[in-house]
Structure 1
Amino acid sequence: MGRGPTLAIIAMMLLLGINGVGVENRPDLQDESVVMSQFGGGTSLEAQCSKSSFEDVFTYTWADFNVTVADNWRTAQIEALAWINGTMADDFRTFLDDLLDGLIPSGGDGWLSSDEREAVRSVAADCVEYTMTRVGVRDGEHHRGGPAVDWRNATWVEDGVSIAEWNMVPERHESVRSCSTFGSNNCYEVPVAPSESRDCDTEANDLDECRIELMLSGTVDLHNIQSLETLTLAMNTSNISRATYTVNAPYVEGMRLSMFEECEGRDLLNGGSPTPIRGSCIGDGSSVATAGYDEQGGMVLTIMPDRPSSFWPEGEDLFFDLTTIQPPTDESPIWTSTAPANGTTWIYSSAASTLESTRVLVAEWNEIASWFSDEDAVSSLDLICLEEGSNTNLVTDSRAIVVSMGFDSDYSVISCSAEDESGQSTSTRDFHIKKGFSVNTQSNSPDIIDDLRLILNEIDTVDPSNGEFLQVSLSIGIEWSGSGPVFYDEAILLNSSDSVTELMFSGDARMATPGPLSVWFKYSGEGVYERSERSEIVLQKIGSPPILSILETKWTGTEWEMNGMFSDPDGEYVTFTMYIDGANIGTVQSFGNTWSVGPIDFRLFDVGSHTVSVRGCDTSGMCAIAESSLNSTSALTSVGPEEMPEKGDDDGVGFVPFPIYSSSIGILAAAFMYGRGHRGAP
């Protein structure tokens, strides 16, 4: 039973590319978070097979998948064949043997036997039925996932899967040998790592150790498709390469592929990636799909994904929009209702006294894609934005719009439009790019401690196109540790009609941890494009040192101990060091917001005055010290001779009697004792 989940997981993941980042039966395709190198998800067969990831640790040479959709579109039959050649076959056998380590007596011994193979193969089909297929099919309006969208994922039909393999444990192997058996009378085994002298003859028909083939046959349920008028087929191809998928659909009058999209960049590690707008994805062309028809007129999709695991955690999803609706008339693209109106103004800021140009990001493509509508994918539109008096397109390779404003310029007009592949164009809209103010810190210093203090000067909200004043609402935020900006609740109204050209801002920055601190601005208002930008100024949050206090010091015989409390104003982790008379000795115990040292046996030190210091340092390197002075004379002189360390002969063997050995020897002895944890140490 222990071997059962192993091949089942491997066979399915090898043949179908199953792993933890597949499309699941959930409302949002984007809500996916998986840790690399995860194998297994529990102790049961279902848990192991449904949650395991395999392509993180293994890759096949090539795989072919043939999918035939039933005439009623309720199920599909999958036949798959995968080849594992050369050293990949060695890696595969090694992986199997490692997984068996601790599960059966012969597991992990560097050999793979025919009995081990049979033990695995016997439950492979059961395991496959629990795995995900990476495919979602949904009728109704074409979509790209998002809230409240049920993918109705294809799932395996119970008792509808069979698994086979060829040459996993080859009889034609230079080092094959017989083995003890737990399942048959003809057990043989081969080393998982054959000698380097072997000659891989993958062109021959005879068995050798350099080739493995895995075969799968199974049926999947397409979950009650009601209408064939519009279908969306989604396929998660993250971490899949060297494979071909052929999807054979039955004849449906008028069925065509209206749109294919390669959508890349979904964050598989953290999730939260936005749902793409249909038609907005800009793929790199690495994954290829073609559509055709067979002799009976049924649609045939040929899919060749190419998204190797080196791209992880950036994923890839392929979308196929199928429909029987006739293609719409080729019309001119248009601006949508969500697009900025003609004459909209973009406000930006610059650092005070800068002599550099300011890069103004007008919009990223994920915003721009919602500005236009066309019967074809908006990603196929040619976007054109020209600055007044220039023929240079401001659209970047990533299809963002960026304007570079010189330090001596604070206003520009850009004209934008979009053109389809037929040469038809939208109307042109003019947008204004205007500097609203300059910003600096109140002290002209980048360092801040508790408060963010900014000066906004050269405030100008006059619209040069008509001389009217813009009412600009400005929100200020700070960002630290790359966690995204946090904006203050109270917004500032910029209105130069009040003859106010300078404003002061103060905000509590104690929430931020020490380190680099970025300032963000968020603009809004009538006629103002709502956007956020990272300011050019970068500050440094200076932390405060930890606060240490002493609660108690006490003697117990010749032993002394001290304890106290601590806190860090910035909420950072605090580490402690102990010193006795300036020498780093021993350890400090900490729990919660308390610390303690000792008990320290001062018979190991000279009689007299000593200083014990506890130094606490936070993550930013800010430190504080709590120290206590003590005198051991009274504690040590009250000790009877029988309680003092036993004297020995001063012959170079053993310890020097305590009353005469030096302070340095005592410190070394104490360091040895307390450095290993004197309290409770053997």
Structure 2
Amino acid sequence: QGVDWNNATWVKEGMTLQETNLIPEGHPERRTCRDQYGGPSGSPTCEEVPAYPANQGQCGPHSCDTIIFLNASVDFEQPIDPTNFTLAMVGRNLSKAKFTYIFPAQNEQIRIAHSSEEHDCNTTYTEEDEEADDYGHTYEAREECQSYHNVDDLDYALTAVTEGTSFSRIFTYDNEDWPAAREYFIDFTTMPPEVDNPPTWSDDAPSEGDLLPVAGLGDSEYIVDLSDINSWFDDDLGAGMLNVDCSGAAGWSLEEAEANHWTVTSPSSGASTTVTCEATDSSSQSSGVRTFSVAPIFSITPTNTTTLDEFILTFSPTDSVTMAVTMTLKQYGVEVPVTFTLTGSDAPITASAGTLSPGAVDVYVQATAEGMAPFDYMYNLGLSKQSLPPTVEVTGFEWVDANYILRGHFSDPDGETVTFTLKIDGVQQGQVSVSGNIWETDEIPFDLLAEGIHTIGIDACDTSGVCTSIAEDVELVIEDPIDNLPDTISSSDDGGGLPAPGIGVAIMALIGAGLVGRRRD
């Protein structure tokens, strides 16, 4: 049976596009573009950066993972039947992408009836662009490429949301297999399954009386969310389509923040309570109820909130339960994990900040224990990595007539952008131009300055506001040209000697400027 393709087109109006790390900033090896399209090399509007981090092992603001967020609507070529349709995707150009589709609410719940994924290594690709260097060349997949066809074994999330139903999946593709074809077919329908069994608690769900751990900082935090529901329950229509209700939490605040998201707020760090939860499907069939305890499991106290090298945080557990804990420092996609075991007593934990960039640092904590649901929480403890100052060197100077130019190299150990300020005798004036890691002042007009020693100051500040200042002392000596001339000037016309009138004005003063000294503030 053939496929009746109904192609979708992105709608430009209302489209939002965001990126993380698409264009790394402040890399010390950045340079002006070379062989750029539409303009000569060295254009000030174009800059190139390396595709590797400024510091070994560092990702985030300089390089490594690039994330693009696209939020938009699509138009289909033909009307679709919202009760029975197939979503087809070709994933050959998706190294890693998460797609989320929101389907409008309907009278009958939508579900996935069938799904398939096919990876075909026999597919070839021939370049048809006549201007391409490889025009006419045919590419084949590598010998190690393995073809497969999976049916009804697709990993996805189908969830009831306020707007209707959300379908999401992460699509991946190994670029080494290119040009192998990857195709997905997902059949959606509102027809009920042949057998509609009641929902059940899964083997991964917490047992009756188990602990649902919280941070207990007085803020609202989730005890049940969509990932919990997909893990805790099994149902013919998919766990994400269940309705989950919770009650109890005496002395605490318990709220359904949104569909199937339950939050609690603790009155104090040492308090505990209980909640009761159950799931029901569209036929009002119940999973049965389970009651859980809810309580904080530890407190965290930082010894230092700012550092250049490492943070020390003390974990203080609320009881003697043995817990496996992973603490991860997070910043701009860079992660520094530390794994340890808590056994009931205070534990000071050290985490290196060496691969982090200057700025705020979050602390993500995960914990597991017997009789306890998995715990994870993102703490804001006010931590920050300090910035090291830029390094600035003077490599030389130049005279252009009566104008003085100073130049040098610079770098920033944190890879941040560095901006320069030029000061003459402490007063900001003039500009400093930058090309790659070279800086150079504008021409400084010494013929407009008074005789004596003048200080040329350079302030170099990184994005974090940490600065390095250097200064050059330049002596300006103005020689009187009359002192260097004979008393009389000979004239071939009258044979007499006459003084030269207005010579101080007619002859420009000679400027002798010497480099006196250099200092670094």
Give TM-score scaled by structure 1 length: 0.45
SS in 1 for 2:246: strand
**Where does residue 613 of structure 1 map in the other structure?**
457
**Where does residue 328 of structure 1 map in the other structure?**
194
Which of 378, 382, 388 in structure 1 is aligned with 2:243?
A: 382
Report matched runs for 1:142-181 at 5 Å: none
**Where does residue 330 of structure 2 map in the other structure?**
479
**Where does residue 435 of structure 1 map in the other structure?**
296
Alpha-carbon shift at residue 573 of structure 1 (Å): 0.4
- Does residue 459 (structure 1) correspond to residue 317 (structure 2)? The answer is yes
Q: Cα deviations across residues 654-681 of structure 1 (Å, max 9, x unaligned)?
A: x999669xxxxxxxxxxxxxxxxxxxxx
Cα distance change, pair 275–617 in 1 and its aligned pair in 2 (3 A): farther
**More RCO (CA 8 Å, sep 6+):** 2
Cα distance change, pair 633–615 in 1 and its aligned pair in 2 (3 A): same
Which of 475, 478, 489 in structure 2 is aligned with 1:631?
A: 475
SS in 1 for 2:373: coil
- Residue type of the partner of 2:311? R
**Unaligned ranges ≥5, structure 1:** 1-14, 22-31, 37-54, 74-134, 139-144, 151-233, 241-256, 262-273, 288-318, 351-355, 463-468, 642-646, 661-682
Which of 18, 29, 45 in structure 1 is aligned with 2:9?
A: 18
SS in 2 for 1:367: helix
Whole-angstrom CA distance in 2 between matches of 1:56 and 1:649:
78
**Where does residue 604 of structure 1 map in the other structure?**
448
**Where does residue 123 of structure 2 map in the other structure?**
none
Cα distance change, pair 420–513 in 1 and its aligned pair in 2 (3 A): same
Number of residue equivalences: 368
Alpha-carbon shift at residue 137 of structure 1 (Å): 4.6
- Residue type of the partner of 1:413? T
Q: Cα deviations across residues 411-434 of structure 1 (Å, max 9, x unaligned)?
A: 333332212344432133343433
Whole-angstrom CA distance in 2 between matches of 1:477 and 1:519:
6
Which of 221, 226, 237 in structure 2 is aligned with 1:360?
A: 221
Cα distance change, pair 349–380 in 1 and its aligned pair in 2 (3 A): closer
Which of 372-381 and 329-338 deviates more?
372-381
Which of 384-393 and 395-404 deviates more?
384-393
CA contact (8 A) 1:386 1:416 kept: yes
SS in 2 for 1:520: strand
Which of 490, 495, 498 in structure 1 is aligned with 2:343?
A: 495
Which of 203, 208, 213 in structure 2 is aligned with 1:337?
A: 203
Cα distance change, pair 339–597 in 1 and its aligned pair in 2 (3 A): same
Whole-angstrom CA distance in 2 between matches of 1:401 and 1:57:
29
Q: CA RMSD in A?
A: 5.0
Alpha-carbon shift at residue 519 of structure 1 (Å): 2.1
**Unaligned ranges ≥5, structure 2:** 1-5, 20-70, 113-153, 167-185, 486-500, 511-521
**Where does residue 157 of structure 2 map in the other structure?**
277
**Where does residue 407 of structure 1 map in the other structure?**
268
- Residue type of the partner of 1:282? V
- Residue type of the partner of 1:592? G
- Residue type of the partner of 1:369? N
Alpha-carbon shift at residue 507 of structure 1 (Å): 2.3
Alpha-carbon shift at residue 322 of structure 1 (Å): 4.0
**Where does residue 24 of structure 2 map in the other structure?**
none
Alpha-carbon shift at residue 404 of structure 1 (Å): 1.7
- Residue type of the partner of 1:532? D
Report matched runs for 1:209-220 at 5 Å: none
Cα distance change, pair 423–237 in 1 and its aligned pair in 2 (3 A): closer
- Residue type of the partner of 1:19? W
**Where does residue 362 of structure 2 map in the other structure?**
518
Q: Cα deviations across residues 291-331 of structure 1 (Å, max 9, x unaligned)?
A: xxxxxxxxxxxxxxxxxxxxxxxxxxxx863499x843443
Whole-angstrom CA distance in 2 between matches of 1:512 and 1:436:
28
- Residue type of the partner of 1:399? N
CA contact (8 A) 1:476 1:487 kept: no
CA contact (8 A) 1:386 1:392 kept: no
CA contact (8 A) 1:510 1:570 kept: no
More helix as a share of residues: 1
Alpha-carbon shift at residue 284 of structure 1 (Å): 1.3
Report matched runs for 1:38-49 at 5 Å: none
Cα distance change, pair 137–381 in 1 and its aligned pair in 2 (3 A): closer
- Residue type of the partner of 2:376? S
Report matched runs for 1:1-40 at 5 Å: 18-19=9-10
Whole-angstrom CA distance in 2 between matches of 1:508 and 1:454:
9
Q: Cα deviations across residues 580-614 of structure 1 (Å, max 9, x unaligned)?
A: 21232322222222222355453332232111111
Q: Cα deviations across residues 632-661 of structure 1 (Å, max 9, x unaligned)?
A: 3289989999xxxxx9999xxxx999669x
Report matched runs for 1:42-441 at 5 Å: 65=78, 136-137=86-87, 259=110, 276-278=156-158, 280-285=159-164, 321-322=188-189, 327-349=193-215, 357-376=218-237, 378-387=239-248, 394-407=255-268, 409-441=270-302
Whole-angstrom CA distance in 2 between matches of 1:67 and 1:587:
62
CA contact (8 A) 1:567 1:593 kept: yes
SS in 1 for 2:260: coil
SS in 2 for 1:632: strand
**Where does residue 430 of structure 2 map in the other structure?**
586
Whole-angstrom CA distance in 2 between matches of 1:591 and 1:638:
44
Identity over the aligned pairs, expressed in percent? 21
More strand as a share of residues: 2
SS in 2 for 1:621: coil
Alpha-carbon shift at residue 616 of structure 1 (Å): 1.0
